[in-house]
Amino acid sequence: MRIASHLRASIKPEGFSAISRWLSEATPPGPNAAQSRSRRDRSKPVGFRPVLAGILSGCVSFFARLRWCRSFVAQPPANRSDAFGITGIAWRSVFAISFALLLAPLAALHAADAPRKKPNVLFIVSDDLKPLLGCYGTSWIKSPNIDRLAAKGTTFTANYCQVAFCAPTRFSLLTGLRPDSTGMYLNPDQSQDLLRTRLPEVVTLPQQFKNHGYITHPLHKVFDGRTVDQGHDAASWSVPYGPWEMAPGEKPAPGGYQDPATKTRLADALKKGNPTSGPATEACDIPDNAYHDGGVAHTAAKRIREFANKEQPFFLAVGFVKPHLPFIAPKKYWDLYDRAALPLAPFQQLPQGSPHDLAFYSHSGELRAYSDIPKTGLIPEALQRELVHGYAACVSYIDAQVGLLMQTLADCGVADDTIICFWGDHGWHLGEHGHWGKLTNYEDAARAPLIISAPGVAGGRRVTALTEFLDVYPTLCELAGVPIPSHVEGKTLVPLMRGDSDSLHKAALTQMSHGRGKNGTMGWSIRTPRYRYIEWRAADFSADKPVFGNHAQATELYDYESDPLERENLAEKADRAGLVKQHQALFDQLLPHLPKRLE
């Protein structure tokens, strides 16, 4: 009916404006409509409605003018101009406009057939970030921007890292391979290009995007810099790894410190040939980009503004190094919290019956290396509060940087054309089990945040199914329309994001190794919806390929329904023997490359 009315209307002088209004309804409104439309022309197919409208309006107007023209030529030449109030030049213009209107829909059809522009990807990783975020249910933390991202995306609430350590977890996610496939279990003692030494042919996640037409670029800690070449794995990026810009005149000391007294002390110690460590926390009243992550965010925003104007889509990888130790953030983020009101870990003992020397072998060593932390013994409560306060300030600092990047996408008109993947590389014990750090197979180290928003996928979904960081690689490929390489070991999360499925894995697999030589140990943890089973075996890391033992040195079982704080290892309880057997069967199924277990 509406089309018919436009047909009738087009015969009249106001017909063109009516069609024009109808066509304009198909164009998104708003202040950036023109800009937005120009981007959509490249990125999205032209809808049926404007194409049909264009064809109809073009034909109707052409034939209407043809009828008018016949009337025109039927008049005596002397009367033509007077009769219609129109000159010969205008007459030719009318024909030109009509002809253009006839061609316009053909151009639109051509645009509909043109290849879509793929969505951009903003890939953000925050170092050592446990899911201490509002969108993960922590009411007292201030993370409004990440919460806003969660509201427009999918929050994976039971997501687990493959290794709770910087280099191997990133190595795994970015190659799409499990640690037992990469052989990368620990941070290396010294920098070397382990990625291309061990896996010369592997196609990394950003490399796959680069190979499919993307601008790819990294800023700061995406891979762990100790495991790749000077170009941060140059093969992965179309725009080389480069420095980020700090606020004018700002140059933090190693470790990121900006407090003048700390900088002087560290510099003096270095001059004397006796380098020393700084404090575990710092809170200078300086701008965000006087510390590294703020500089990285400002530089990333600049890159977004550059890349948003390109014909190619971009994959921008931004690595923030907080809340990794030392807990350094501008004072304004510390001021968001009342230290006395902050909660401390509710259970600070080791799990009863757990193999403590295996399970907590790092003994909070990373924290204790800082100048103001006692080398042994419990961390006093006042210091615990300061550390929790510092971690929270760092989370809010990173949250603000994420907010800056989201705002920049919006300002550039590409927010609706950009996938955002935000993740913390692994969890962290903030005093849980008396441990301060990562490097365990327990819930606080293994569980890590993952939030993905994507064009065309409804927001605000919370996925409680078990997921792994390994799943990120195929998920981003599928969301972007990039092929998923055959080597990838994870599974796509897209069905969970779309609500088409509510489960994916029988268990999430995390592992932790000790030692680098012949007498090493490996503990594999399988996390099921209710339980965690851990099995420790001997490992010989002295050869290129590790050799694992066939005897379980120790086993652990935790029931998160009855014991969410992991107070007690149930593996040796007689009444849980059947449960252990069930989990061992699943363990064997998930880790078929291990030698058969000898009882």
- One-letter amino acid at 107 equals A
Beta strands 154-160 and 281-282: pairing type?
unpaired
The residue (of 224 and 535) whose beta carbon lies closer to Ca ion is 224
Q: Is 128 in the site for Ca ion (CB under 5 A)?
A: yes
Interface positions, 537-566, toward Ca ion (CB under 5 A): none
Assess contact for 121 and 315: CB atoms under 8 A. Answer: yes
**CB 354, min distance to Ca ion, A:** 23
Residue 417 as a binder of Ca ion (CB under 5 A): the answer is no
Q: In this chain, which of 166, 296, 430, 497 binds Ca ion, going by CB under 5 A?
A: 166
Quote the CA–CA distance of 387 and 280 in Å, as a whole number: 8
Q: Which residue among 127, 386, 432, 471 contacts Ca ion (CB under 5 A)?
A: 127
Amino acid identity of residue 388, one-letter, is: V
**Among the candidate windows 160-168, 301-309, 414-422, 445-453, which touches Ca ion by CB under 5 A?**
160-168
Q: How many residues bind Ca ion (CB under 5 A)?
A: 4
- CB of residue 328 to Ca ion, shortest distance in Å: 15
Looking at 172-180, 418-426, 464-472, 515-523, which segment touches Ca ion (CB under 5 A)?
418-426
Nearer to Ca ion, 469 or 531 (CB): 469
Closest separation between CB of residue 537 and Ca ion, Å? 25
Q: Which stretch binds Ca ion (CB under 5 A): 155-163, 393-401, 425-433, 570-578?
A: 425-433
Nearer to Ca ion, 127 or 259 (CB): 127
Q: Which span (395-403, 419-427, 441-449, 542-550) binds Ca ion, by CB under 5 A?
A: 419-427
Residue 265 CB partners (closer than 8 Å, separation 6+): 276, 278
Residues 6+ apart with CB under 8 A from 259: 282, 284
Least distance to Ca ion from the beta carbon of 380, Å? 26
Q: Cα–Cα distance between 303 and 185 in angstroms, integer?
A: 33
SS3 of residue 282 by DSSP: strand
171 Cβ contact list (under 8 Å, min separation 6): 179, 182, 184, 194, 195, 223, 224, 227
Q: How far is the CB of 221 from Ca ion (least distance, A)?
A: 8
Q: Can residue 399 be called a binding residue for Ca ion (CB under 5 A)?
A: no
Of the residues 180, 259, 293, 425, which one makes contact with Ca ion according to CB under 5 A: 425
- Cα–Cα distance between 25 and 29 in angstroms, integer? 8
Q: Is 425 or 432 the residue whose CB approaches Ca ion more closely?
A: 425
Whose CA is closest to 419, among 400, 406, 404, 438? 406
| Cis? peptide before 343, omega within 30° of 0 | no
Please report where in the chains the tokens 């304004």 appear, as a residue.
332
Least distance from C-beta 472 to Ca ion, angstroms? Answer: 15
Residue 240 has what DSSP assignment?
A: -
* Angle at CA of residue 290, ends 286 and 292, nearest 5°: 135
Q: What are phi and psi of 318, to 5 degrees?
A: -120, 120
Q: Work out how close the CB of 169 gets to Ca ion at its nearest, in angstroms, rounded to a whole number.
A: 7
Q: Is the Cβ of residue 166 or residue 507 nearer to Ca ion in the bound state? A: 166
Q: How far apart are CB 187 and Ca ion at their closest, in Å?
A: 9
CB nearer to Ca ion: pick between 320 and 533: 320
Q: Which residues make up the interface to Ca ion (CB under 5 A)?
A: 127-128, 166, 425
